[in-house]
Amino acid sequence: MSSKNTTALRSDAAISGSGHQPDRLRRTKFASHVAKEFLLPLRDSSLVVSVEGPWGYGKTSTFNLMKKHLPKSEAIVFDFNPWMAGSAELLTEAFLIQLATAIGLHDRAKEGQDAAKQLVG
C-alpha cells in the first residue's frame, strides 16, 4: 500500500496549542478572551467558569489554550480533577493539597486534612 493511500493515526489527547499541536478548531480567540476575563480586578463576588460538552469535544484543549494566555505572574493555575474523590472530605482535602502545591506550600498534608475536616464538618 502506498503512503498516499494511508491515513495518519490521530490521537484523541487534548492539544496544547503549540506549533506541533495547532488549534485546528479555532478556539484560541475564545480562550484568550476568557483568560483575560479571569484577570479582572478583585471584587466582592466570585467568578465561576464552566465549559461543558460531550466527551471528545475539546473542553480540555480549550482549557489548555486558556492557560496559555494567563500570565504566570498574575494568576495561579493548576489542574484539579475531582472524579476520583470518594467523599466530600476527600474531595476538599485533595483540592487543598493541590492548591498548596500550586502556591508553593509543600509537605502540608496534615494542615490540608485539618482544613478539609473543618470545611466539611
Read off the pLDDT of residues 76-96 as tens digits, 9 standing for 90 and up: 778 887 877 788 888 888 888
pLDDT per position as a tens digit, 11-68? 778 888 777 788 888 888 999 998 888 776 666 565 667 778 898 888 889 988 988 8
Cα 68-69-72 angle, rounded to 5 deg: 80
Of residues 8 and 26, more confidence is placed in 26
Instruction: Kindly state whether residues 63 and 88 are assigned to the same domain.
Output: no
CB 75 within 8 A of CB 38: yes
**Domain residues for 62?**
13-76
Written as nine digits, the cell of 67 is 492557560
CB 55 within 8 A of CB 83: no
Of residues 121 and 43, more confidence is placed in 121
Question: Do the domain assignments include residue 2?
Answer: no
Q: Has this prediction a pTM greater than 0.85?
A: no
Instruction: Kindly state whether residues 70 and 21 are assigned to the same domain.
Output: yes
Instruction: Kindly state whether residues 59 and 88 are assigned to the same domain.
Output: no
3 φ, ψ to 5°?
-65, -20
Query: Average pLDDT in the 2-16 region?
Result: 66
DSSP state of 1: -
Q: What is the pLDDT of residue 85?
A: 76
17 alpha carbon, distance to own chain's centre: 14
Q: What is the pLDDT of residue 50?
A: 74
Q: What is the pLDDT of residue 4?
A: 56
Instruction: Kindly state whether residues 72 and 82 are assigned to the same domain.
Output: no
Cα 75-60-19 angle, rounded to 5 deg: 85
Instruction: Kindly state whether residues 97 and 46 are assigned to the same domain.
Output: no
